Structure formats: C-alpha cells, structure tokens
Amino acid sequence: MQMLLALALLALSAHPSQVAAQAAAAAAYAPSLTPCPPGTSLLRETDPTDQSLSPGESAYISTRRTEMLPEAWANYLTAVLQSIDESITLPEYVSDIMGGSCGVPNLPTLGIATSGGSYRAAIFGAGVLNTIDGRNATSVRAGTGGLLQSASYLAGLSGGGWLVGSLIQADFPTLPDLIFGNPTASADAWGGWNAQTDILQPSSNATIDSAYLVDLVEETMGKHAAGFPVTLADIWGRTLSRHFANGTNSLNILDNSLPHGAGLTFSSIAELPSFKSHEQPFPIILSESQSVHQNSSLIQNVSSAVVPLSNPIYEFNVFEFGSFDPMLSAFTPTKFLGSPNKSICATGFDQISFIEGTTAELFNGENTTSAAFFASPVGPIVELIEALIPEPGLEMDVALVPNPFFGVAPSMFIDSNEELLSLVDGGEDGEVIPIQPLLVKARGVDVVLAIDAAADTDDNFSDGSSLVTTQKRAALFPSSYSFPHVPANQSVFLAQGLTKRPTFFGCNAPSDSAAPLVIYMANGGAPLGQVPVTNVSTDQLSFAPEQIDAMLTQTFDVATQGIPIEKTVGRQTVLDKDPEWPACLACAVVDRSRERQGMVRSGICESCLERYCWS
Ligand SMILES: *[C@@H]1O[C@H](CO)[C@@H](O)[C@H](O)[C@H]1NC(C)=O
Ligand SMILES: *[C@@H]1O[C@H](CO)[C@@H](O)[C@H](O)[C@H]1NC(C)=O
Ligand SMILES: *[C@@H]1O[C@H](CO)[C@@H](O)[C@H](O)[C@H]1NC(C)=O
Ligand SMILES: *[C@@H]1O[C@H](CO)[C@@H](O)[C@H](O)[C@H]1NC(C)=O
Ligand SMILES: *[C@@H]1O[C@H](CO)[C@@H](O)[C@H](O)[C@H]1NC(C)=O
Ligand SMILES: *[C@@H]1O[C@H](CO)[C@@H](O)[C@H](O)[C@H]1NC(C)=O
Ligand SMILES: *[C@@H]1O[C@H](CO)[C@@H](O)[C@H](O)[C@H]1NC(C)=O
Ligand SMILES: *[C@@H]1O[C@H](CO)[C@@H](O)[C@H](O)[C@H]1NC(C)=O
Ligand SMILES: *[C@@H]1O[C@H](CO)[C@@H](O)[C@H](O)[C@H]1NC(C)=O
Ligand SMILES: *[C@@H]1O[C@H](CO)[C@@H](O)[C@H](O)[C@H]1NC(C)=O
C-alpha cells in the first residue's frame, strides 16, 4: 500500500495539470445550492399504518398498468402457450387473467428483486432478466420471454443495483446490449459495462493505476468545495460510473479529460424516453444504514451481515428517497437529496454513480485501519482523500447524506438527531435480495421473482440465508410487512436442494395469503449436470467477454430448467429441462390474482404448485 500511495502522490506532483484534466468531471459532480422553488416540500411523511405512494409513483404505476401491461401480459401468455407441449393444457383462468378478460385490475402485480454479490450477481441477474425478456426471441421460444415487460417493479441492490442502475439509465436496452455496449458509442452515450477493465486496477501498470485513483479523488473535489462530505462511497461511485453509467466505452475508459457520467442524476431518469413511455418496470435501488444508535444485538449470524435488522432500510427511486419502515415512514424528493435545510435546495446530489456506490458500500464491514485493508486495492483511496481533501472527524467507510429526516419521529427513528445519514450496502443486514420494498402494502405486489446470487457457501453459491433473514425482519414489523413462510435456516435450503431449482414460497398456508407469492431462483449450483461457471468470487472485478457469455448461457439454463427430469438417451440417463416449467411459472405468477377472484386452482396448476412449492 505504501508504495501505491507513494506512487499516487508522485503522479499527482508530477502532473499538476491533472486537476485541470478532471475539472469537467469535478464541476459536473458538484451539487448546486439554490433557494427551493416555491411550494417545494422536502418531507413527505406517510402514516405507518396506512402508507401511501408518492404521486409520481402512483401515476407511473397506474399508467403502466393501463397502457403497457395488458399487451405485455398477453404477449407473455402467447410465449407460454406456444412453448408448451400440446398435451399440456393450462387451466382457463390462467389465460383469462393474463389475457385481460378478468379486467386490468386483476392483471398480476409482479415485482422482480435482483440480488447483491458484485459482478457475479450483476451477470447472473442480467442472465435471468434476459431469459424473461420478451425482446429476446430465444427466451420467447423457451416460454419465459415477456415476463420482464409484464413486471411492475424492478428492485436491485449492490451488484444487482449496478445492473438495475445501468439498465434504466441507458434507456432500457436489451441485456446483451447493456453488458457489451458499443465500443464506438459517442462519449456521452452508453458504452457497455466495460467489464474487461478492472473496477479498481484498470491497467496492469501500477503508475497508471495510481494516477487513476488520484483522478477519482479529484473528481469529487467540486462536491467537497461546495460543502458536502466526500467519502469512499463517492470515490467508489466515480469508478463504478465508468462501468454502470453513460459516458465511457472500452476505448476512452482511461481518458481523464471526459466526465465519465459525472452529472447524470437518478431523478433525471424520469426524462428518458423509456421512462416517459412507461416501458420500464418502476426501478428501485436499496441501501441500508449504519447508526451509532443501532441495537447491535439484532445483527444476524450470516456471513454478510454487519448491521442489525432493526436499522431503517432506505430506497432510492426516481421520485423519492426514504424508507417505508414503520419507525420512519418518510420520504424526500430524490431530485433535492442533499438539501441542507427547508429553504435551500441541493440539486445534482443524487448522481447515478453516487447511488451505485452507496448501494454497494461494503467498506464499513472491513477494518479500515488494518494492514490488510491498506494492502487491498481500495486501501490507498482513504489516504488519498486525507491527503487531498482532509475532512477531520468524518467517517470515511460509509456514504454520507445530509439527513432529510432530521427531527422526524424522535422516539422511533434512531437517526432523528443526526445531521448526516450513514448509508451502506443494501445487503448488510443479511438480506441480499432487495425484497423489502416489494412487501410495502401500498404497492400491492402479488408475486415476487427473487433472484439470489449471493456467495454464501464455500464454493460461492447461494444457500437461501437471504430469505431466512427477510422472514426474520418481516416478523419484527408485522403490521407493515407480510412474508411467506420459508425454512428456518439455510441448512434446510441446502438439505432440500431448494437453491438448485426454482422454488415457490407462500402457495398453500392460509396465513401466507397476505404476503406475495415468492418465486425463488438462486445461483445454487450448475444446471443439468454442467460444469459450474456462475459461482465466481465476489472479489472478481473484471471479466472477459467469453466468461460473461458462458455465465449468461448457463444462467439461461438455470432459469429455464425448472426441476430437471431424468431422460434416457441411448444407454445413458441425463438430466433434461422440465417441459412443464413455463406452464408452472405462469401458474405461480397468476396465483394471487386467481385467489383474489375466488377461482379454484386446477389442472396442471395444481400439480405444478404441488411440485414447485415448499411447504
Ligand atoms: C437471447 O438470449 C440468448 C441466451 O442467453 C443469447 O444467446 C442471445 O444472444 C440473446 N439474443 C438477443 C437478441 O439478445
Ligand atoms: C445514455 O445513452 C443512451 C444512448 O446510448 C441514451 O439513449 C440515454 O438517454 C442516455 N441516458 C442518459 C441518462 O443520458
Ligand atoms: C507504466 O506507465 C507509465 C506512465 O504511462 C510509463 O512511463 C511506464 O513506462 C509504464 N511502465 C511499464 C512497466 O510499462
Ligand atoms: C435490542 O434488541 C434486543 C433483541 O431483540 C431486545 O431484547 C432489546 O430490548 C433491544 N434493545 C433496545 C435498547 O431496544
Ligand atoms: C453462527 O453461525 C456459525 C456457522 O453457521 C455457527 O458455527 C455459530 O455457532 C453461530 N454463532 C451464533 C452466536 O449463533
Ligand atoms: C440553509 O443552508 C444554507 C446553506 O448551507 C445556509 O446558508 C442557511 O443559513 C441555512 N438556513 C437556515 C435557515 O438554516
Ligand atoms: C483494526 O486493525 C487495527 C490495526 O491492525 C487493530 O489495532 C484493531 O484492533 C482492529 N480493529 C478491529 C475491530 O478488529
Ligand atoms: C464453483 O463450484 C465448483 C463446484 O463446487 C467448485 O469446484 C469451484 O471451486 C467453485 N468456484 C469458485 C470460484 O468458488
Ligand atoms: C434448521 O431448522 C431445522 C428445522 O426447523 C432444525 O431441525 C435444525 O436444527 C436447524 N438447524 C440449525 C443449524 O439451526
Ligand atoms: C469463493 O470466493 C472467495 C472470495 O470471495 C474465495 O476466497 C474462495 O476461494 C472461493 N471459493 C472457491 C472454492 O474457489
């Protein structure tokens, strides 16, 4: 580390012009302060026992439902019907619900939650989204394409937050276009994930890598000069911006005269064509909080957990930032995040890169004064911040946001008296799948597709502990959240193989009917007897295109195999995809709507849910 830092400082003194080179990015990354527009309210409190959505979200969801979803569900139904064997008959209610003859209000409300787990999770999540994307002819033929277009919500955190963030800000391209981009894209357009370039060490030359870190810190100096705290989360976000925001392609990634996405805000996604036309599922990115007032006895004993279940979970959406957790139940406009008080409004604080850094801000889980931390690629950054923009007393290993909820709910909200909120990775309580916003009753989600690519096991597959943890957290707030019964611990998931094939939760117990039905799809093992390629380490921060292709191909099989069946080919027994899987998935997706209308589960849906549901 000492060497890296020394090199970095050397790079700085040798190239005083670098500050100028980064000036465009530094200016674009700096928030501005202006008097708030007349009539602006920076606080929306919603009754914890009768929560409401923001006007922006309500309007988006209702317009999407009436203008986009009828056709989307009809297309998905067509894909399901053409893919299944003639011998399989779907009960009529499935076609009636999806085809619209039960009316627009009875179309299912589907939420998709795609987990954390760094690049591995971003790629696995992208593979699942590609498999359900109606724009991919292979996915349509497989009988799964079209579900993405039918979803109302799309939530992501950490690596899944990079996926969701990049997808929505690039105006909702197909997943291969998102990942591989276009090397000749113009300097402010979408250039792909640039995954071949490591996030922290972009070259194999230590001098260049050190200069790169100096560039990143310099890009935050305008924000610092404008009076805002700058921490590791900002620097982390600035490098993530080269991968998950517009403004970088594989050829210009090291060009430090470009802004590389600085200035792009989350709230401005509202102006993109695919958002204005309601083509995107409503996107949500999660972050958790760390607090000096937290009750540490509620930190769960799962590998990724660092903060207790009782801390507020925050969401960023295009319109609002805040929390539906009952102890806070308050929001502020995303556009004005960072505002110092009621009369002065900040704009430009809600940068996409900052939010992508915040949702994946894991550094508070490390010992930032240990030798091991300093030896890690991120180690020198803290010292660079201290050298270039000293901020004595600020905690460097969290994302800091001026607290929009200062003074709110003083008897319940632990950070009511704090000037700054300390935000961290959205999975730090052990819930690596961002399900919490989909349990908000005002959102009325019927069915959740939960995509889990956490590395829980020794060989970096998922073990279900995220769902176990969500079950525990929902039980802490019983009047706000309902979650179906899932196994009490990850041993049961592993022993019953629930991570190795899609599993449904909440199909049968009457006590589960207030909760959404959960379709769980995990990175739990290679499909169909293949050699596993999707369980790469969380630490891997660069990928060759061939490796991503192999992971996407394998994820396609994970998402289309169902519960594999044994088939005899010649003299050998091989595993094959369940031909009923597309039908079974459709049965699960409509099941809450069926139940609401008092229809009886029947035909193949009965046997499907029997086989795929955990009870
Ligand atoms: C559709 O998905 C398959 C499977 O991952 C992939 O090979 C193909 O390139 C995708 N096609 C398009 C047009 O995105
Ligand atoms: C990102 O670039 C794409 C074109 O590559 C464009 O359609 C989209 O509007 C851009 N997004 C933002 C936030 O500017
Ligand atoms: C590393 O990059 C620096 C700056 O571009 C260059 O001067 C040096 O020769 C490079 N070192 C190696 C080993 O390529
Ligand atoms: C912290 O959590 C524990 C376990 O739920 C509980 O018993 C205790 O009362 C809590 N402490 C405070 C100060 O809330
Ligand atoms: C935490 O989990 C580990 C492994 O799952 C177990 O060995 C240990 O006893 C647990 N600790 C507590 C305090 O429950
Ligand atoms: C609001 O914040 C601005 C900028 O920090 C400051 O100048 C002003 O005095 C504050 N106003 C109040 C009423 O606190
Ligand atoms: C962090 O590392 C420092 C230096 O090695 C050590 O003194 C300290 O005890 C460590 N803290 C924790 C919580 O492990
Ligand atoms: C992936 O899983 C296989 C099978 O368990 C294991 O041999 C391999 O080491 C794992 N790879 C990683 C990077 O964890
Ligand atoms: C996991 O839960 C099962 C079923 O409730 C229980 O029998 C088992 O002892 C638990 N295992 C652990 C390690 O807690
Ligand atoms: C799983 O990933 C960790 C790092 O996240 C790595 O240390 C470990 O070796 C991997 N496991 C296997 C079996 O490769």
Question: For the residues of 256-299, what is the DSSP string, one character each?
Answer: TTS-TTTT-BSGGGGGSHHHHTT-SPEEEEEEEEE-TT--GGG-
Tens of pLDDT, residue by residue over 380-391, are 899 899 999 999
Fold of 44-48+111-559: Cytosolic phospholipase A2 catalytic domain (3.40.1090)
| Residue with CA at minimum distance from ligand 7 atom 7 | 370
Q: Which atom of ligand 1 is nearest to the CA of 553?
A: 5
Cut 0.95: pTM above it:
yes
Q: What is the model's pLDDT at position 378?
A: 87
To the nearest whole number, what is the mean pLDDT of the chain?
95
Q: What is the model's pLDDT at position 89?
A: 93
Share of the chain above pLDDT 90, in %: 89
pLDDT over threshold 90, residue 15 = no
Residue 1 pLDDT level (bands cut at 50, 70, 90): very low
Average pLDDT over residues 92-111: 98
pLDDT over threshold 50, residue 359 = yes
Average pLDDT over residues 428-448: 98
CA 285 to chain centre: 5
Pocket test for ligand 7, best of 299, 363, 370 (most atoms within 8 A of CB): 370
Q: What is the model's pLDDT at position 368?
A: 82
Distance CA 289, CA 359 (A): 10
Phi, psi of 114 (to 5 degrees): -120, 130
Average pLDDT over residues 461-488: 97
DSSP lists the bridge partners of residue 111 as 153, 448
Average pLDDT over residues 499-525: 95
pLDDT over threshold 60, residue 574 = yes
CA 283 to chain centre: 9
3-state secondary structure of 403: coil
CA 451 to chain centre: 10
CA 498 to chain centre: 22
Average pLDDT over residues 244-252: 96
CA 113 to chain centre: 7
Residues with CB under 6 A from ligand 1: 130, 136, 138-139, 174, 176, 552-553, 556
Distance CA 71, CA 373 (A): 52
Burial zone of 460 (CB within 10 Å; 0-12 exposed, 13-18 middle, 19+ buried): buried
CB count within 10 Å of CB 572 equals: 7
For residue 276, the ligand closest to its alpha carbon is: 2
Average pLDDT over residues 477-500: 97
Average pLDDT over residues 553-570: 96
| Residue with CA at minimum distance from ligand 2 atom 4 | 189
Tens of pLDDT, residue by residue over 167-193, are 999 999 999 999 999 878 888 899 999
Residues with CB under 6 A from ligand 2: 169-171, 185, 189-190, 246, 264, 272
Residue type, 607: S
Q: What is the DSSP letter of 351?
A: B
Residue type, 57: E
Average pLDDT over residues 494-514: 94
Q: Which residue has the tokens 């959740």?
A: 448
Q: What is the model's pLDDT at position 19?
A: 53
In degrees, rounded to 5, the angle at the alpha carbon of residue 468 between the alpha carbons of residues 465 and 471 is 150
Residue 375 pLDDT level (bands cut at 50, 70, 90): confident
Query: Is residue 340 within 6 Å of ligand 6 at its C-beta?
Result: yes
Q: What is the model's pLDDT at position 302?
A: 87
| Residue with CA at minimum distance from ligand 9 atom 5 | 488
Residue type, 446: D
CB count within 10 Å of CB 25 equals: 28
Q: Which atom of ligand 8 is nearest to the CA of 455?
A: 14
| Residue with CA at minimum distance from ligand 3 atom 7 | 207
Q: What is the model's pLDDT at position 303?
A: 74
Q: What is the model's pLDDT at position 176?
A: 98
For residue 297, the ligand closest to its alpha carbon is: 4
Q: Nearest CA to 421 among 319, 357, 337, 326?
A: 337
Q: What is the model's pLDDT at position 5?
A: 58
Average pLDDT over residues 295-320: 95
Q: What is the model's pLDDT at position 6?
A: 62
pLDDT over threshold 70, residue 406 = yes
* Residue 276 near residue 145, CB atoms below 8 Å: no
pLDDT over threshold 90, residue 18 = no
Average pLDDT over residues 285-312: 95
